[in-house]
């Protein structure tokens, strides 16, 4: 059937309503009309085509039995209507059979419309035979033959055209459905790909972060220190960049006495103190072992030394408890150097901060030293 069920149902009702004015023409010549048969037939046709067909037989997609029943009953209605309005002398003979033929063509397809036209032709001949008898003159009557041929031509042409229309509509609907399916699949694939891309980007960022982060302390590692110091020196070529190097005093002795687990806890605690006391623009790293470093862009040696002294005091007064509940602490020594006052290159800055740290160790540990230039060796 063409279109959806609601459309077909409404179209069937409209077709039935449109045929009512033609049916009223039967009362133009009441002498030929059989009363009250015509009234009963009229009511029956209205009920069947207004209620039974659209709301029962064609409520859902009809099968061949339901189609045959709808067309067959309407063929009977058409035959009785012609009979009750004068038979072969009726104004409806034989053209009233066009209604079931058109209905078959519109709703049931080419084969159904062809068969309906065939039976309509047979019924037209039956009326002639029933009233006048079968003879060659009747069979050869031009008007009857023309009507029969017209029925077949009409059903064939309309049936073929509607068949093509249905096939095109089905093809269009199939293509539309396939395009919608492909679009939804593509959208889902795009969303899934986007989700995977976001996951991969997130994992890459996490891996990059892990590659430059010290797992124990959460500070940057030595690899990132080299990258960050290069970056700061290039960015602050005509400004100041300071560096301090911090080393835990007698850390090997601490590990030997309290164990490496306590040593790791102490490293993490000192890292926390450093992070809490430097600026957001500063770069704090675990340089290696028990040694830490912080890069200070825009701060000179004296400013960094003051901050380093504060960190040193906090560390000195920071205690962690051993497994036995004994509070223990450590001290740190810090060396400070600045670019460009103390060094002209990255390697010089690291070396001079390390020399300042060495001076702090040599001076008794637990203190902060600023790099001092060594006197040149005499040749």
pLDDT digits (tens, 9 = 90+) for 55-99: 888 778 778 788 888 888 888 888 888 888 887 777 777 777 777
The structural domains of the chain, with segments of one domain joined by +, span 5-179, 222-370
pLDDT bin (cut points 50, 70, 90) of residue 200 is confident
Residue that has been written with the tokens 């302390």 in this structure:
217
The per-residue pLDDT for range 225-266, each reduced to its tens digit, is 999 999 999 998 889 999 999 999 999 999 999 999 999 999
Partners of residue 244 on adjacent β-strands: 294, 336
Active site residue 303: no
Choosing from 167, 206, 215, 290, the catalytic residue is 290
Task: Judge whether residue 137 has pLDDT over 50.
Answer: no
- For the domain 222-370, what is the CATH superfamily, name and number? Reverse transcriptase/Diguanylate cyclase domain (3.30.70.270)
Task: Judge whether residue 299 has pLDDT over 90.
Answer: yes
DSSP structure class, residue 48: I
Integer angstrom CA distances of residue 71 from 46, 106, 221, 374: 14, 12, 88, 117
Task: Judge whether residue 102 has pLDDT over 60.
Answer: yes
Q: Tally Cβ neighbours within 10 Å of residue 260.
A: 10
Q: Peptide bond preceding 36: is omega within 30 degrees of 0, i.e. cis?
A: yes
Amino acid 7: pLDDT: 62
* CA-based torsion, 18, 19, 22, 26: positive or negative: negative
Q: In what order do the strands lie in the sheet with 283-288?
A: 283-288, 291-297, 241-248, 332-339, 368-370
Amino acid 310: pLDDT: 97
Mean pLDDT score, 283-289 = 96
The per-residue pLDDT for range 11-61, each reduced to its tens digit, is 667 766 766 776 677 777 777 788 888 888 888 888 888 888 878 887 787
Does pTM surpass 0.75? no
HSE of 317, CA atoms in CB hemisphere, 13 A? 5
Integer angstrom CA distances of residue 299 from 128, 163, 284, 308: 120, 88, 15, 12
């Amino acid at each position: 059937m063409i279109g959806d069920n609601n459309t077909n149902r409404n179209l069937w009702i409209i077709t039935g309503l449109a045929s009512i004015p033609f049916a009223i023409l039967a009362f133009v010549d009441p002498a030929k009309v059989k009363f009250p048969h015509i009234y009963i037939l009229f009511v029956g046709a209205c009920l069947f085509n207004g209620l039974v067909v659209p709301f029962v037989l064609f409520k859902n997609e009809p099968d061949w039995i339901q189609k045959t029943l709808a067309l067959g009953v309407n063929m009977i209605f058409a035959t009785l209507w012609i009979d009750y309005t004068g038979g072969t002398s009726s104004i409806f003979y034989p053209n009233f059979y066009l209604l079931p033929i058109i209905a078959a063509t519109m709703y049931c397809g080419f084969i159904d419309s062809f068969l309906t036209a065939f039976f309509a032709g047979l019924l037209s001949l039956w009326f002639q035979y029933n009233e006048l008898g079968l003879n060659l003159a009747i069979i050869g009557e031009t008007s009857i033959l023309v009507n029969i041929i017209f029925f077949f031509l009409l059903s064939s042409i309309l049936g073929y055209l509607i068949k093509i229309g249905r096939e095109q509509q089905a093809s269009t609907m199939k293509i539309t459905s396939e395009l919608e399916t492909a679009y939804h699949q593509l959208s889902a694939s795009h969303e899934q790909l986007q989700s995977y891309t976001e996951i991969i980007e997130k994992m890459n960022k996490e891996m990059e972060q892990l590659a430059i982060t010290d797992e124990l302390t959460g500070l940057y590692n030595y690899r990132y220190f080299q990258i960050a110091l290069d970056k700061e020196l290039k960015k602050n070529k005509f400004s100041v960049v300071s560096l301090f190097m911090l080393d835990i005093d007698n850390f090997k002795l601490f590990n030997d006495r309290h164990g490496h687990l306590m040593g790791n806890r102490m490293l993490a605690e000192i890292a926390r103190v450093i992070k809490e006391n430097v600026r957001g623009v500063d770069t704090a790293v675990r340089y290696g072992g028990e040694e830490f470093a912080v890069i200070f862009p825009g701060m000179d040696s004296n400013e960094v030394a003051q901050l380093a002294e504060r960190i040193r005091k906090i560390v000195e007064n920071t205690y962690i408890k051993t497994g036995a509940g004994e509070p223990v602490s450590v001290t740190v020594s810090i060396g400070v150097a600045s670019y460009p006052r103390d060094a002209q290159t990255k390697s010089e800055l690291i070396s001079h901060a390390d020399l300042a740290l060495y001076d702090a160790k040599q001076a008794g540990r637990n203190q902060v030293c600023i790099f001092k230039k060594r006197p040149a060796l005499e040749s």
